[in-house]
Amino acid sequence: MTTSVYDVVVVGAGSVGMPTTMYLAEKGLKVLCVDQFASPGQGSNKAAIGGIRATHSSPAKIRLCLDSLQTFSIWKEEHGFDLEWFQGGYLFVAYRAEEAKTLKDLLVVQKAAGLDIDWYDRDALLDIAPALEPEGLLGGTFSPGDGSASPMLSACAFHRRAVELGVECRFNERVTGIMRRKGAVVGVRTDKGGYATGCVVNAAGPWARSLAQSGGLDVPVNPDGHEAGITEPAQRFLRPMVVDIRRTPGAANYYFHQSANGQVIFCITPDPPLIGTDRRETSEFLPMVARRMVKLMPKVANLKVRRTWRGLYPMTPDGSPVVGWSGTLAGYVDAVGMCGQGYMLGPGVGALLARMVTETTTPEDAAVLHELRPDREFAGVEKLK
């Protein structure tokens, strides 16, 4: 054990962990971040395609992502660092009555939560995204406040800000255990030593469950593989992130957007899930997603794909994160199970955790924490997970 004592040790320097350290340090706390990889954002963060939306069916996720959107949208103005933030909105298309009903029903929850979102008929939707296939298009929902940014630039920016505020980072170091005494956290053990603390934040993404178990706890987070790809750059022809929630053999929803540099970045949700930590890409992915994308937006047919990759979604049974203090181990807090949405949830979750640790939560925070509490029953499924 080292002689240094930290107010908080954050395990994981990714989409959730890095902004969490930043917000904790802004509160004046002495913070250590430990990550098994060589630099920030090298786990699941670097596999994200950059979408940031508040268009969920979960009120807690809506609230957290609204906070995240605020962070991304003003970052360059406040800190002078370009995250490639682009406010193109999110567009959910409906070509069948089934999806149209789902999207319209969700508007009730989304509008009640304060989202700027509405249903657009076929012609209005084509005004927003003219490249969509018009035949059979019934309409869809559009939220203009959503957008996208660069996950790697964001990880770099949050790390830079955290270090400026005094956060210490230990990379290439793996936490092997949470040390306890009389039902409370007293430190963490790593493959290179140990650190004393009374508070541990589990932000370990796909590896969250093993970390929890090292402290005698458990959390229902299981990773599954999702593949993504990127094309050559092209002159901008698409502003929003386009999401198609139709299910087809082998896959559920898929989504794509055009980045600030002109590349089209895309991802698909495998069905059934590919459970496990295997991050090798498959030969099935590109033909499957290409067929669907070209049918939905014929214009992309001529774009050359430059690269594909596979990342891990840390999934929970109900498709919502687990955020909150442990009921059995004092000083341990979960910030896990982001279900592939850690990048868009990260700043909102990080700011919430900072308020939790400093005991400055609001009544609105209490509602979010109740919905995402670790001891919930995990009944139901988030509609737009």
How far apart CA 17 and CA 334 sit, in angstroms, is 11
By the 8 A CB rule, do 68 and 347 touch?
yes
pLDDT digits (tens, 9 = 90+) for 190-209: 999 999 999 999 999 999 99
Q: Is residue 381 part of a domain?
A: no
Q: pLDDT category, 1, cuts 50, 70, 90?
A: very low
Q: Verify cis geometry, omega within 30 degrees of 0, for the bond prior to 270.
A: no
Q: pLDDT category, 385, cuts 50, 70, 90?
A: low
For residue 364, give the nearest of 19, 52, 60, 26 by alpha carbon. 60
Are residues 164 and 227 located together in one domain of the fold?
Answer: no
pLDDT above 80: residue 24 = yes
Q: Which two tokens stand for residue 25?
A: 């340090």
For residue 127, give the nearest of 239, 253, 292, 243 by alpha carbon. 239
Give the mean pLDDT of 1-19. Answer: 88
pLDDT digits (tens, 9 = 90+) for 93-102: 999 999 999 9
Are residues 205 and 349 located together in one domain of the fold?
Answer: yes
**CATH label of the domain that carries residue 266:** 3.30.9.10
Q: Is residue 229 part of a domain?
A: yes
Give me the residue label for tokens 């979604």: 313
**Single residue among 294, 315, 336 that ends a domain in this structure:** 315
Q: Is residue 385 part of a domain?
A: no
By the 8 A CB rule, do 141 and 91 touch?
yes
pLDDT above 70: residue 270 = yes
Q: What is the 3-state secondary structure (H, E, C) of the chain?
A: CCCCEECEEEECCCCCHHHHHHHHHHCCCCEEEECCCCCCCCCCHHHCCCEECCCCCCHHHHHHHHHHHHHHHHHHHHHCCCCCCECCCEEEEECCHHHHHHHHHHHHHHHHCCCCCEEEEHHHHHHHCCCCCCCCCCEEEEECCCEECCHHHHHHHHHHHHHHCCCEEECCCCEEEEEEECCEEEEEEECCEEEEECCEEECCHHHHHHHHHHCCCCCCCEEEEEEEEEEEECCCCCCCEEEECCCECCEEEEEEEECCCCEEEEEEEECCCCECCCCCCCCCHHHHHHHHHHHHCHHHHHCCEEEEEEEEEEECCCCCCEEEECCCCECEEEEECCCCCHHHHHHHHHHHHHHHHCCCCCHHHHHHHHHHCCCCCCCCCCCCC
Q: Is residue 57 part of a domain?
A: no
Are residues 307 and 166 located together in one domain of the fold?
Answer: no
Are residues 40 and 168 located together in one domain of the fold?
Answer: yes
Are residues 308 and 160 located together in one domain of the fold?
Answer: no
pLDDT digits (tens, 9 = 90+) for 314-362: 999 999 999 999 999 999 999 999 999 999 999 999 999 999 999 999 9
By the 8 A CB rule, do 244 and 280 touch?
no
For residue 91, give the nearest of 47, 149, 130 by alpha carbon. 130
Are residues 245 and 351 located together in one domain of the fold?
Answer: no
Q: Is residue 78 part of a domain?
A: no
pLDDT digits (tens, 9 = 90+) for 119-151: 999 999 999 999 999 999 999 999 999 999 999
pLDDT at 142: 98
Q: Is residue 278 part of a domain?
A: yes
Are residues 140 and 272 located together in one domain of the fold?
Answer: yes
Q: Is residue 236 part of a domain?
A: yes
The DSSP bridge pattern shows strands 31-34 and 222-233 to be unpaired
Are residues 134 and 103 located together in one domain of the fold?
Answer: yes
In this structure, the number of other CB atoms found within 10 A of the CB of residue 366 comes to: 10
By the 8 A CB rule, do 293 and 254 touch?
yes
The number of distinct structural domains making up the chain is 2
By the 8 A CB rule, do 328 and 217 touch?
yes
Are residues 335 and 283 located together in one domain of the fold?
Answer: no
**CATH label of the domain that carries residue 194:** 3.50.50.60
Q: Is 0.85 surpassed by the pTM of this model?
A: yes
Q: pLDDT category, 2, cuts 50, 70, 90?
A: very low
Q: pLDDT category, 177, cuts 50, 70, 90?
A: very high
How far apart CA 16 and CA 10 sit, in angstroms, is 10
End-to-end CA distance of the chain: 41
pLDDT digits (tens, 9 = 90+) for 223-267: 999 999 999 999 999 999 999 999 999 899 999 999 999 999 999
Q: pLDDT category, 277, cuts 50, 70, 90?
A: very high
Are residues 131 and 238 located together in one domain of the fold?
Answer: yes
Tell how far CA 356 is from the center of its chain: 20
Are residues 311 and 231 located together in one domain of the fold?
Answer: yes
How far apart CA 194 and CA 191 sit, in angstroms, is 8
Residues facing residue 6 across a β-bridge: 197
Tell how far CA 99 is from the center of its chain: 24
pLDDT digits (tens, 9 = 90+) for 25-84: 999 999 999 999 999 999 999 999 999 999 999 999 999 999 999 999 999 999 999 999
Q: Is residue 283 part of a domain?
A: yes
pLDDT above 80: residue 380 = no
Are residues 179 and 190 located together in one domain of the fold?
Answer: yes
**Single residue among 315, 335, 361 that ends a domain in this structure:** 315
Note down the domain range covering 129.
87-144+222-315
